Amino acid sequence: MFGNFLGTVLGSQHTLTTTYRTFWVMLSQGYRQELQQVVDHKGWLKPAHLLRSIQLICYNWFNQKKHCLTPSTPDFAQLLQMITLNTYMLPWLPPVLHKLAHPRSVGPFQLPAQEVGSLMGSSGSSSSGITPISGLTPTTGLGSQPPPSPDGWLGNKR
C-alpha cells in the first residue's frame, strides 16, 4: 500500500518509489521467512519497528529536499540486511506505535491474570472481571475489559 502511495504521489520512476519497490521485492521473495523468524520466534523486532525505520528514512529524505540539499538515494533494502546480520538498531517508537508493537506488554499499571491470581492464591477473578485485591482487570484476551487509566485510579476525571 505504501509503495502504491509513493508511485501515485511521486511517480513510478521517482527515486523513492524505485528503491522502495526494490525493498518490497527483496522482502517478498527472499527475506520473508528470515524476517518472520525474527518477528515471530525471536521476538525482539516488531513490524512497527520496520515501518518506523522506513518512515524515518522518508522523513530524512524529504527534510533534506525541503532545505535545498541533495539527499542520497535511500537504501530501504539495507534494513533487511541489517536485520539478518543482527546489526539493526530498533528505532524509538512514539507512544501510538509503541502500543501497536507491544499491545499486551505488562506495564506498571497492568498485571497478567496469572500473576494476579498467584498473588491472591487463587484464580482471582470475580464476576465483574475485576480482581478484588487490586481493582485490575485481567488481560487474558477475548472478553476481558481494558485496564482502567492511572487517572481513574486516583479519582481524577478528565
Q: What is the pLDDT of residue 7?
A: 87
One-letter identity of residue 107: G
pTM of the full structure: 0.60
**Which tens digits make up the pLDDT trace of 18-30?**
999 999 999 999 8
The Cβ-side half-sphere exposure at 16, using a 13 Å CA radius, reads: 21
Rg value, the chain, Cα: 22
For residues 29 and 114, which has the higher predicted lDDT (pLDDT)?
29
User: Is 8 exposed, middle or buried (CB count within 10 Å of its CB: 0-12, 13-18, 19+)?
Assistant: exposed
One-letter identity of residue 14: H
The DSSP result for 25-65, as a single string, is HHIIIIIHHHHHIIIIII-S--HHHHHHHHHHHHHHHHHHH
Residue 57 to residue 73: CA distance in whole angstroms? 10
